[in-house]
Amino acid sequence: MASWCWSSLVLCLLLTSSSAHDDFFTSISKMTDLLFTEKDLLTSLKNYIQAEEKKLEQIKTWADKLEVLSAAATQDPEGFLGHPVNAFKLIKRLNTEWAEQESLVLSDMSDVFVSNLTVHRQNFPDSDDETGAAKALMRLQDTYQLDTDAIATGHLPGSSSNRGSLTVSDCFDIGRVAYSEDDYYHMQLWMIQALKQLDQGETSSSVDAITVLDYLSYSLYQQGELERALQLTKRLLELDPTDERATKNQKYYEHQLSNQKGAEEGAESARRPKVATHNVPDDFLPVMWSYEELCRGEGVSMLQRAGVHEAKSVDYRISKNAWLREHEHPVVDKINQRIEDITGLDMSTAEHLQVANYGVGGQYEPHYDFGPEDKSEEFGRRIATWLLYMSDVQAGGATVFTDVRVAVKPIKGTAVFWYNLYASGEGDDRTRHAACPVLVGSKWVSNKWIHERGQEFRRRCGLRKTD
């Protein structure tokens, strides 16, 4: 019963704390609402279709009867109209029945559907959500070194059910997002996938091979692969010899190739994927590489946990979160008390319990919890962190400590605890940690940041910096 109450409270708080539009892709719980919205719209749309079908059936029945009558009448028009009843019915049909059919044809059966759609549209995802979701797929692709075709066909680790696949149009749109970000590496990967699916016979009403080849050749050119760009441009011109831009591009590529030496070295350098670092310093790049390796399980020490372990040895965050205050619900009080009992630390100066749900590719890049000393809060810096896993995750979503190369797999009902500060009060750089992108599933976690004030006699100060 307590578990049900806890889940219900968290869900209600997360759903009510968001604005009308607030980055749907960052939270699985938020996107769950969209599924039920779409189901409601589908019901409305099917009702509209049934109403239209009924209307068309009425019109068809009347037209079929009239067709038989008209065929007989036009064989002997004078003889037919010589009968006064026939003459009357002809006049009546043209004056009344055709007008009724006109009204039926023009009647709008979509009023309810359009009204329902208008109401829901204000809460629909927007272009930023679509862009964010596309970037999330590319982030998963890089972090877990996934083949583009595996993503497109839905063959992801841990995805034994609910497997989805991407159409040519989907792949093209992801490539377009990369193009808008000047990310020619991912643009190339997704345009190649779109072209592959077209070559395999998949059709699309919105994307053709000429358009894909245009984008793909440009992405290759931007990465210094002039020879491949030229080959694809020639293929484009085979499909459409009148394409003026492709003709100019062909001449340009041929000219560049004739005058350029060492193009292969340049292309090899350009082909290397770049890590999205959000303008972080260069010395942070090794941390990002370590982070992605740990997320993939490379060279990692997995913690063998019972319930709790102590690990002492932005676009930055993609999630939705809510804060649960003390005394708002009995379950919150019980959670706080249990943390205090297990850690031996005072919760009176700790921050409220934070609950987070990670969405498509949801992650939190490497960071420290303790924060800068000169910006410490009223109750001091965050001396320790308690992280509770509230759900299992089919694939991805591990918590990794980049400096000590430790990874913790999220398992429902377990927790990890660590001190962010040495006993001396100095920040422990070994506690740099990150949340790996969620590959498959929905990740729910809650965390408690515990502050220095109140811990004076529970964790006594050390005399040396690293005590």
Residue ranges per structural domain of the chain: 29-121, 127-271, 282-451
User: Residue 252 pLDDT > 60, yes or no?
Assistant: yes
Query: How many CB atoms lie under 10 A from the CB of residue 258?
Result: 7
| Domain 127-271 CATH class label | mainly alpha
**Statement: the pTM of the whole predicted model exceeds 0.85:** no
**How are beta strands 320-324 and 443-451 bridged, if at all?**
unpaired
Higher pLDDT, 262 or 101: 101
Residue-wise pLDDT for 134-191, tens only, equals 898 899 999 999 999 999 998 888 877 667 789 999 999 999 999 999 999 999 999 9
What pLDDT shows up at residue 123? 77
Over range 363-370, report the average pLDDT: 91
User: Residue 17 pLDDT > 50, yes or no?
Assistant: no
CA dihedral 318, 443, 185, 289 (to 10 degrees): 90
Q: Of 27-31, 79-83, 361-365, where does the model show the most confidence?
A: 361-365
CATH code of 282-451, in short, is 2.60.120.620
What pLDDT shows up at residue 112? 80
pLDDT averaged over the chain?
83
Over range 313-320, report the average pLDDT: 56
Are 451 and 419 within 8 A, CB to CB? no
Residue-wise pLDDT for 175-231, tens only, equals 999 999 999 999 999 999 999 999 999 999 889 999 999 999 999 999 999 999 999
Over range 85-110, report the average pLDDT: 81
